[in-house]
Structure 1
Amino acid sequence: MVVLALPTHASNRLDRLRHAFQHVWTRTVIATLFCGLATGCAHQEPVSQAAKPQVHKAPQKHGSAFKRFGYRYGPGYYHHVRYYHGYRPWRPTAGEASQEAPSDKSTTGAEVVVNKSAIKGLVPVYFATNRVVMGGPGLELSQISYARSATNTFGYVTVSIPVVHRMGEVETPKMSWFGLRKEAEDDRKHFRIQKLYRLSREEFASAIANPADSMMLFVHGYNVGFSDAAFKAAQIAFDANYKGRVMMYSWPSKGGLFDYDYDRESALYAPDGLFDLLQLIKKEARVSRIIVIAHSLGSEVVLGALQQAALSQTTLGITELIFAAPDVDRDLYLERANQIKSAAGAVTLYASSADLALLASMKKAQSTSRMGFVTQSGPTLVPGIETIDVSAVGSDMFALNHSTFSTSRAVLDDIGRIISSTAHLKPPQRTPTLRSIPDELNTTYWMYPY
């Protein structure tokens, strides 16, 4: 046998190449796992247009699909399937009986058929957005971008709630660990947009003018795509058992986990559009109560709109204003406090010390605190704004404890009592488990007990 010996320098070179290859391979695997995990946790992919249910031609009257399933149809009503009108048979109201609502057909001329056994309910959600909407008069989700528009686009979506839905969750298709494959959409397992319409400003104004007890307007936060905003608005209304009309304002969030800077610039750009919508609601909706729920960075959008109302001396008629984990600098909050209080009949703020997203935002902005963060000395307090510390009922780690208001049954119950009541009740009156701090005689804020 002949043994060939490599020179020492050649052997060392092979060893270095082998170690380098192993290092690159290890880094590639780790990067793939991290990206897959980040993508899977964010759930910000747009709803797929490929997995559409079978369709058939529909009659022209709006609401026929809702009637077929036993729902009282919109604008603005839904019923949980398990009740199935056992306590209230469907009857059109005076406004619904006389007014022609948007066609029940999709933009392709076909009606989307929902499997009744696969869903718990249908939630109609009106929307206004200052996202750039591409294309012609028809509307598909793929046309709604994250680019910024100087004008609002109006419309209407119908969100289906899956039969497997659990309170506080928004069930959407999940990605595989490696981010290579996405679960197929399924009415039984996932929130889905079943119908999507574009409305002119005049059609939108006419549609929201139908009689209703109240209107809930949801303004989403950072890292939220258009469809996810619709899902969250529907989930809050459904889980809170809210029977009024549901609406959302979708500002141009890029919908990415690492796009905070873009989203913050969009939030600073968006108040004009929201102010325009709030004026439209005030003039055209003719509802008894207007409820605005702002989450996270959406609170920045709301504060900008309220400032415009104050400077123009415009009354918006907001009955209840709810801030959930507001991502607003503490100093800006204190400066705008009087504008906030003057804009609404009652203001409720949910804050937390367990909110990791706000903690990251605070450090990024080099802020002493955020409007929705609870420091060691407590939350930022403003007389006349009811502040509730929800640290004890924080969400799971992948939600970064930033959506406690919509994932915790306790907080959802409290919000449900706010938005469903005909008159505002103080926190301990509507939720007796809340603890007064420091005590009942000298209360400055409330907290959920640990």
Structure 2
Amino acid sequence: MIRYFIIIFLTLTIHGCATTPQDTATAAPPPPEEALVSVWYATDRNRTEVESLKEFFGIERGELSYGICQVAIDLDESVSPLVDQTLWQLKSGEEPSNATELRRIKPLEKSEFFAQMRETLEASKEKSVLLYIHGYMRSFELAAREAARLSYEIAYKGIPAMYSWPSRDSLVNYIADVAGVDWSVANLRDFLEALTMEAPSTTIHVVAHSLGNRALLNALVQLREESEKHHLPWRFGEIVLLAPDFDRATFRRDIAPVLANTNSRISLYVSAVDIPLMASKMLSAYPRLGDGRFGPAVIPGIETIDATDAVDWVSGHSYFRRNIQVLRDLHYLIVDHRGAAERPTLEAVDSLEGTYWKLSDLPEAAEEEKLE
């Protein structure tokens, strides 16, 4: 009898431990080795006859053209391929190591460009575009890689886009780049107007770096005047000025009052260890807007962020590409839409001119936050 119960017990135990096909766990697929980011572009560079993607667009002026390019971002094998862990596992001050490569350029007619953009936006939960405008000494190929990486690193969910003006991509051609970016103002204004009209119910966020701010700020002022005159919609959300190579006094007098009178949030990032802006000041004789050596520019209607303590002399001008603290702050700003007073990455500083914010190490509570 005892033997009978032992057999029954073992039978039930074995049956309980057995797994049905439905209970069997399936091994997770291996993580991808790269992320592919589509960057929508507008450019007034010349089209070359060269087949190489690196030289598909040149350094000369050209007609405004449109298209989509694809950029591959290599994922670090030591971290999860998920964007939030790629971003948050890095330590403060550490540069993201993801390499980028331009894989494809697909030119489109203007009508086709905006038709495809509308289709993409309609299928997306995030109804917004993040437009990146590069700075001095940048090729089209490098600008596309920067736009893709910025979008990826801050976990942006909308459409990444860029405007590429005819930079000479050379250290000694700064004066030529100034002329090139000034020439692009009218074309950039036309593109921003088309983006506003062709993508209705869409929020446009803009990030400009260095000399690219020169084109953006002048184009926005012109567009604002036209929008008020012709009652055009103003769809710009976050306007981010990174290390702007722009006359500080001119911005305070002519630009800031216009932009502050819109429903956009204007965020200005400055640093006191920005060598290119120091050189620009020597050439122009006047302080640059992104140069924090003279104290951060505190201007009504503008949220100024001093990034000096978060960067070093090497990354002092390109800190948005090199510093994880800056990328975290840009995520809170562009993705979460938090103002400076709401972001855990910043500390308020009271000055005689008013309040500005200082980028500093994240508190422990912020380290535990996860990107959505």
Q: Are 2:66 and 1:154 equivalent residues in the alignment?
A: yes
Show the counterpart of 1:325. 243
Conserved in 1, the CA contact under 8 Å of 2:273 and 2:313?
A: no
Describe the SS at the equivalent of 1:379.
coil
Show the counterpart of 2:80. none
Show the counterpart of 1:119. 33
Measured against aligned partners, the alpha-carbon deviations of 1:71-95 in whole angstroms (never above 9, x if no partner) come to xxxxxxxxxxxxxx99xxxxxxxxx
Describe the SS at the equivalent of 1:382.
coil
The one-letter amino acid of 1:269's match is W
Describe the SS at the equivalent of 1:342.
coil
Structure 2: runs of 5+ lacking an equivalent: 1-27, 78-85, 88-93, 362-372
Select which of 332, 344, 366 maps to 2:285.
366
Supply the distance in 1 between the matched residues of 2:244 and 2:263 (Cα, whole angstroms). Answer: 17
Conserved in 2, the CA contact under 8 Å of 1:306 and 1:343?
A: no
Conserved in 1, the CA contact under 8 Å of 2:95 and 2:323?
A: no
Q: 1:282 to 1:324 in 2, by over 3 A?
A: same
Show the counterpart of 1:103. none
Q: Are 2:332 and 1:417 equivalent residues in the alignment?
A: yes
Select which of 157, 163, 169 maps to 2:75.
163
Conserved in 2, the CA contact under 8 Å of 1:374 and 1:389?
A: yes
Show the counterpart of 1:309. 223
What is the Cα deviation at residue 336 of structure 1? 1.3
Conserved in 2, the CA contact under 8 Å of 1:395 and 1:403?
A: no
Supply the distance in 1 between the matched residues of 2:106 and 2:116 (Cα, whole angstroms). Answer: 12
What is the Cα deviation at residue 436 of structure 1? 1.1
The one-letter amino acid of 2:289's match is M
Supply the distance in 2 between the matched residues of 1:316 and 1:139 (Cα, whole angstroms). Answer: 38
Q: Are 2:193 and 1:279 equivalent residues in the alignment?
A: yes
Select which of 338, 347, 355 maps to 1:444.
355
The one-letter amino acid of 2:137's match is N
- The range that moved more, 344-353 or 215-224, is 344-353
Conserved in 1, the CA contact under 8 Å of 2:269 and 2:304?
A: yes
Describe the SS at the equivalent of 1:353.
coil
Q: Are 2:323 and 1:404 equivalent residues in the alignment?
A: no
Show the counterpart of 1:429. 342
Conserved in 2, the CA contact under 8 Å of 1:309 and 1:315?
A: no
Show the counterpart of 1:385. 302
Measured against aligned partners, the alpha-carbon deviations of 1:75-118 in whole angstroms (never above 9, x if no partner) come to xxxxxxxxxx99xxxxxxxxxxxxxxxxxxxxxxxxxxxxx977
Show the counterpart of 1:354. 273
The alignment covers a number of residue pairs equal to 310
Q: 1:126 to 1:274 in 2, by over 3 A?
A: same
Show the counterpart of 1:338. 257
Supply the distance in 2 between the matched residues of 1:259 and 1:344 (Cα, whole angstroms). Answer: 37
Conserved in 2, the CA contact under 8 Å of 1:395 and 1:402?
A: no
Q: 1:341 to 1:199 in 2, by over 3 A?
A: same
Supply the distance in 2 between the matched residues of 1:408 and 1:255 (Cα, whole angstroms). Answer: 23
Supply the distance in 1 between the matched residues of 2:255 and 2:99 (Cα, whole angstroms). Answer: 39
Supply the distance in 2 between the matched residues of 1:406 and 1:444 (Cα, whole angstroms). Answer: 26
What is the Cα deviation at residue 411 of structure 1? 1.1
Supply the distance in 2 between the matched residues of 1:343 and 1:154 (Cα, whole angstroms). Answer: 28
Q: 1:449 to 1:417 in 2, by over 3 A?
A: closer
Conserved in 1, the CA contact under 8 Å of 2:134 and 2:208?
A: yes
Supply the distance in 2 between the matched residues of 1:141 and 1:406 (Cα, whole angstroms). Answer: 20
Supply the distance in 2 between the matched residues of 1:329 and 1:265 (Cα, whole angstroms). Answer: 15
Describe the SS at the equivalent of 2:250.
helix
Conserved in 1, the CA contact under 8 Å of 2:165 and 2:184?
A: yes
Q: CA RMSD in A?
A: 2.7
What is the Cα deviation at residue 208 of structure 1? 1.2
Describe the SS at the equivalent of 1:375.
helix
Supply the distance in 1 between the matched residues of 2:32 and 2:71 (Cα, whole angstroms). Answer: 13
* Identical positions, percent: 29
Supply the distance in 1 between the matched residues of 2:102 and 2:168 (Cα, whole angstroms). Answer: 19
The one-letter amino acid of 1:267's match is V
Supply the distance in 1 between the matched residues of 2:31 and 2:106 (Cα, whole angstroms). Answer: 25
Supply the distance in 2 between the matched residues of 1:196 and 1:309 (Cα, whole angstroms). Answer: 29
Q: Are 2:199 and 1:269 equivalent residues in the alignment?
A: no
Measured against aligned partners, the alpha-carbon deviations of 1:354-383 in whole angstroms (never above 9, x if no partner) come to 11111111111111x11111134x212211
Show the counterpart of 1:145. 58
Supply the distance in 2 between the matched residues of 1:407 and 1:190 (Cα, whole angstroms). Answer: 12
The one-letter amino acid of 1:386's match is E
Conserved in 1, the CA contact under 8 Å of 2:260 and 2:300?
A: no
What is the Cα deviation at residue 344 of structure 1? 4.9
The one-letter amino acid of 2:57's match is I
Measured against aligned partners, the alpha-carbon deviations of 1:171-217 in whole angstroms (never above 9, x if no partner) come to 7xxxxxxxxxxxxxxxxx84111221000001101011122411100
Select which of 101, 105, 115 maps to 1:192.
101
RCO higher in 1 or 2 (8 Å CA, sep ≥ 6)? 2
Supply the distance in 1 between the matched residues of 2:245 and 2:159 (Cα, whole angstroms). Answer: 26
What is the Cα deviation at residue 304 of structure 1? 1.6
Conserved in 2, the CA contact under 8 Å of 1:395 and 1:408?
A: no
Q: 1:163 to 1:290 in 2, by over 3 A?
A: same
